[in-house]
Amino acid sequence: MRKKIIELIEGRPDLPPLPEVLLGLQKLMNDPDCEVEDVYRLLKTDPVLSGHIITLANSALFGSGKETTRNLEDAVVRLGMQQVIDLVYALELPRTFRKSKAFDQVEFWKHSLAVAFISRSLAKKVLSDPDDWEASFLAGLMHDVGILVLDNIIPEEYFKFLTLKDLSSTDQSLEELEKDHFKIDHSEAGAMFMAKWWAISDKVNSASLTHHKPGSAQGKTVNLDQLVSTANRIANHYGITHPVMTAFEDPPEEGYLDNLGISQEDLDIVIDTTKIGLLAAETIFRSN
Ligand SMILES: [Fe+2]
Ligand SMILES: [Fe+2]
């Protein structure tokens, strides 16, 4: 099965391309002459997307809570280029993949968005490289995309795999079960797909590939891969899980708060903000 899955990923059987608007934004991002006005002009051509951008820009995930953005131009100016890209990815990716027969994609994206927000919230506190800060949101958002890749390229087999036994009472982790069954897991499948077709940065790809490897370790400097791994464990630990979880416990590493150099109060604020922000995001996702 591994060989077939790799061939399907490489051959791109109806897997979605990156949405046009994201390609356009990436192009502007790489253009040194790009101005905020250009970004605004690109986004305003899609009124539905523009409305959603304003809503999410005002949510706890992107708003400071102090000012309210009433129009698209204000939102773009306030957020700046990187956050606009992060936000449009968060809105566009859930519309990109075909709906799953096996699970609720909205719950999947809520988990992904939570890991994105937690990663970004902690990045400036624990990582020193500004490039890692910039990549932290997308790395979290895309860490589990391999689940959607498998669900899209082998829908019948993946549906059978997910429904054959009661996953929620299985002690093995999802990635172990995938490896037993398909000889490839969603980390590898997702990273392979993105590297080949989505022109995503190596940092984002690497975090997806390693997100089930150990996270922050005591006494060691944390890198982006480990931060995303820990953010994933934190989201799961606080009940913001994706819909195909098994009963396998994968808590954050012992002493993770000390390893990250943050207090429980800091983390509580991040988790509360995540949960409030997800309410706004869910309303948008369910309207798709
Ligand atoms: Fe995962
Ligand atoms: Fe995850």
CATH class name, domain 2-7+99-287: mainly alpha
Q: Are 97 and 105 spatial neighbours (Cβ–Cβ below 8 Å)?
A: yes
Q: Are 143 and 115 spatial neighbours (Cβ–Cβ below 8 Å)?
A: yes
| 29 Cα to the center of ligand 2, angstroms | 28
What ligand is nearest to the CA atom of residue 139? Answer: 2
Question: The whole model's pTM is what?
Answer: 0.95
What ligand is nearest to the CA atom of residue 140? Answer: 2
Q: How far is CA 273 from CA 57, 171, 281, 285, in A?
A: 14, 31, 12, 18
| 144 Cα to the center of ligand 2, angstroms | 5
Per-residue pLDDT of the chain (288 residues; tens, 9 = 90+): 999 999 999 997 778 888 999 999 989 988 889 888 999 999 999 999 999 999 999 999 998 666 788 899 999 999 998 999 999 999 999 999 988 989 999 999 999 999 999 999 999 999 999 999 999 999 999 999 999 999 999 999 999 999 988 888 899 999 999 999 999 999 999 999 999 998 889 999 999 999 999 887 777 789 999 999 999 999 999 999 999 999 998 899 888 999 898 999 999 999 999 999 999 999 999 987
Cα(171)–Cα(104) distance, rounded to whole angstroms?
A: 22
Q: Start-end ranges of CATH 1.10.3210.10 in the chain? A: 2-7+99-287
| 277 Cα to the center of ligand 1, angstroms | 22
What ligand is nearest to the CA atom of residue 212? Answer: 1
